[in-house]
Amino acid sequence: MTIKEALVLASNQIGHIESTILLEYILKVDRQYLIVNNDKSITKSQETKLKRAISKIKSGEPLQYITSKANFMGIEFYVDKRVLIPQPDTEILVQEALKVINNANNGVVQGVKVLDLCTGSGCIAISLAKYAKNVEIYASDISKKALNVAQINYNNIRNVEHDMATIKFIKSDMFNNLQSKENEKLQFDVIVSNPPYIKSAEIRTLDLDVQNEPHIALNGGENGLKFYYEIRKHIEEYIKENGTLLMEIGYDQKEEVQKIFENSRCVKDLAGHDRVIIWERN
């Protein structure tokens, strides 16, 4: 089987873009190689791997879990079944957070203290550590498994980006374990969060590949708002005066979340959907 035939085989079953990424991974080559050498044969072992991967994808396993790669904010992250796959919509949250951090830096000498609440793969915290200046970043999650993945990503990326900000990873059920060494509650200038926000009953209606991601990172309770209420309940204990909270929301949750966070504003994503709620503590 040639590369061209392999692409046709895969494209007919899982789509052209996915097939290209899959072949790059299996053959350990880049896209240009596939184009220039499409008449070259692949080995029987590679053909077997391709067919097995196609079968997994058709049964609902995300392509990113097969390749262990996901691109976010121009950074390649390691992902596996322990974490949600970073999505392009969440880049809006990071971009807005960078604006807030840059603005806060104008009046802060010691650095802006940032918390990424529900960090998962660490994609938000690590993106901020790479692109923001003069920041001290904390990243928390209830899942030790997710934090292990986040730490892998941080170590991998820091080996390349040597001037990244430091990140302290903390196992915490929301705000429960965010204390200093003196057992005082940590307070932050900026808190960023992409919390679980899918209604419990709706998870089984999602695409199969999404259903195969960790439900603990999807399930926002009966009405999808459980974690927004939890954040609102404790936010003023953990955010400094004039501090800013930024949260990702579902496309249809703007009105409900803004009732919880009065005087907040909403930013849309590139598709025109409501995506990020920004609230400031006065």
Which pLDDT score is estimated for 123?
Answer: 97
240-273: buried (b, 16+ CB within 10 Å) or exposed (e) per residue?
Answer: eeebbbbbbbbeebbeebbebbeebeeeebeeee
Torsion of CA 26, 29, 35, 36, to 10 degrees: -130
**Is residue 65 in a domain?**
no
Residue 241 lies in a domain: yes
The verdict on 55 and 141 lying in the same domain is no
Q: Are residues 173 and 255 in the same domain?
A: yes
Residues 187 and 245 in one domain: yes
55 shares its domain with 127: no
Claim to verify: residue 96 and residue 199 sit in the same structural domain: yes
Residue 271 lies in a domain: yes
Residues 99 and 198 occupy one common structural domain: yes
CA 85/CA 216 separation, integer angstroms:
13
Counted domains in the chain: 2
- pLDDT (0 to 100) of residue 103: 83
Q: Are residues 20 and 99 in the same domain?
A: no
Residue 66 lies in a domain: no
Question: Which residues are bridge partners to 113 per DSSP?
Answer: 136
- Give the domain range for residue 95: 80-280
**Can you give the pLDDT at residue 42?**
92
User: In the chain, which residues have pLDDT < 50?
Assistant: none
Same domain, 29 and 90: no
- Kindly state whether residues 188 and 262 are assigned to the same domain: yes
CATH number at residue 111: 3.40.50.150
Asked whether residue 72 is assigned to any structural domain, the reply reads: no
Q: Which pLDDT score, from 0 to 100, does residue 106 have?
A: 66
**Do 37 and 142 share a domain, yes or no?**
no
Same structural domain, 126 and 251: yes
Based on the fold, state whether residues 90 and 51 are members of the same structural domain: no
Would you state the pLDDT for residue 19?
95
Q: What is the pLDDT of residue 213?
A: 86
Whether the Cβ atoms of residue 197 and residue 277 lie closer than 8 Å to each other: no
